[in-house]
Amino acid sequence: MTKLINNLCVIGTGLIGGSLCLALKAADACDNIIGAGRSEETLQKAKQLNIIDAYDTDISHAVEQADIIFVSVPLGAMQTVFEKIAVGLKAGGNTRAVITDAGSSKQRVLQLAETVFPDNGRRFVAGHPIAGTENSGPDAAFADLYKNRRVILTPGDDTDSDAIERVTTLWQTVGAEVESMDAAHHDKILAATSHLPHLLAFGLVHCLENIDDIEDVFRFAAGGFRDVTRIASSDPVMWRDVCLNNQQPILDMMKRYRDELDMLYNALQSGDGEKLIEVFQHAKQTRDKFTH
C-alpha cells in the first residue's frame, strides 16, 4: 500500500523532530525517514531509539531525494541549514520537495526562506507545533506529543496550495489540529502566551539565585513555584534564539508586564487591598473563562 510519505528527511532529531518521526512511524505513514543534523552522536542516538531509519551528517546530501523536509533545529541555526538544503535540492534536481519547519517564531523564518529558496520558495510552508516540554534531544522525544495539540501554519502569499495540503495532512496524521494565520499575528500571540512566560520563568529563578536563602527556597518550594518555574529548565540556546528572532513582539509584551508589575508594586506599597483584590479577581475570571 502507498504510504503518505515516501522519503522524509528530518533535520534536527531532538524533541520536536524526533517526536514527529515516532508519531509518523506509529501511524505507519512513512516508507523511509532519514535524519540529518549537526553531531553524529545525536543522530546515532536517534537511530538507536528507532526514531529514524538512517542518517546522514551531510545535510545537502540527505535532502537530495526527499519528498518532505522537516527542519527542527534552533532558530539561530535555520539560515545555515536552509542554505545547505538549497544546495542539496539543486544538486539533486529536486523541485518537488515540500519544506516545512517547527521554529517558534515565524516572520524571520519566512524572510529567510524567501531569500534562500528562490527556486523552491513556493514549496516552503512555515509551521509551529504548539506542543513541547522543557526537555531536549532524542531521548526526550515521544510519539504522543502532538495528539490533540494545535499546529499553526503561516504560509506566504504564493505558497503552493498542494504543499500546504501535504503539510496539513502530515500534522493531522499525528493527531494535531491545524490552523493557519498570518506570520505577524502568530509572532504577537506567541510572544504573549509562550515567549514572555519563558522569560519570566528564567528571570524568576535567576533573580532568586543570589539571595542568601537559596537552599531553603528550593527545599520548601511548593506546587505553585514548580508550576511557574518548570519551563526555566528549557534549553537556553533554543530560548536565546527565540528571543532574538521575535525581538519586538516580546519587548512589547515585556513592557506591558513591567507596567503591570509596577502597578502591583505601588498597590502593595500603599497597602491598597482593594486594588489587589480587583486585579486578582479579574485575572482569575479571565483564566477560568479561557481554561475551563
CA distance 54 to 46: 9
Which of 30, 74, 106, 250 forms a contact with ligand NAP (CB under 6 A)?
A: 74
74 with 237: CB under 8 angstroms? yes
Strands (E), 134-181: 150-153, 177-180
State which of residues 7, 13, 60, 229 lies at the interface with ligand NAP (CB under 6 A): 13
The reply to whether 136 sits near ligand NAP by the rule CB under 6 A is yes
Q: What phi and psi values does residue 231 have, to the nearest 5 degrees?
A: -75, -5
DSSP tag of 4: S
The CA distance from 104 to 229, in Å, is 20
Chain positions 234 to 273 lying near ligand NAP, rule: CB under 6 A, are 235, 238, 242
Q: How far is the CB of 74 from ligand NAP (least distance, A)?
A: 5
For residue 71, the minimal CB distance to ligand NAP (Å) is: 8
Number of shown-chain residues binding ligand NAP (CB under 6 A): 27
The H or E element that residue 110 is part of is helix 107-116
Q: Which of 8, 9, 16, 52 binds ligand NAP (CB under 6 A)?
A: 16
In the complex, least distance from residue 259 CB atom to ligand NAP, rounded to whole angstroms: 28
- Find residue 41's DSSP bridge partners: none
Q: What string of DSSP letters covers 14-35?
A: SHHHHHHHHHHHHTT-EEEEEE
* Choice between 86 and 238, CB closer to ligand NAP: 238
Phi, psi angle pair for 59, to nearest 5°: -60, -40
Q: What's the grid cell of residue 7?
A: 522519503
For ligand NAP, which residue of 9, 20, 24, 81 counts as binding (CB under 6 A)?
A: 81
Residue 197 lies near ligand NAP (rule: CB under 6 A): no
| Among 15, 20, 145, 199, interactor with ligand NAP by CB under 6 A | 15
Residue with Cβ nearer ligand NAP (16 or 98): 16
Round to whole Å and give the CA distance between 23 and 42: 19
CB 93 within 8 A of CB 67: no
Residue 17 vs 249, nearer CB to ligand NAP: 17
**Which one of the spans 11-19, 49-57, 196-204, 276-284 is the region binding ligand NAP (CB under 6 A)?**
11-19
Binding site for ligand NAP (CB under 6 A): 12-17, 37-39, 42, 72-75, 77, 81, 102-104, 128-129, 132, 136-137, 235, 238, 242
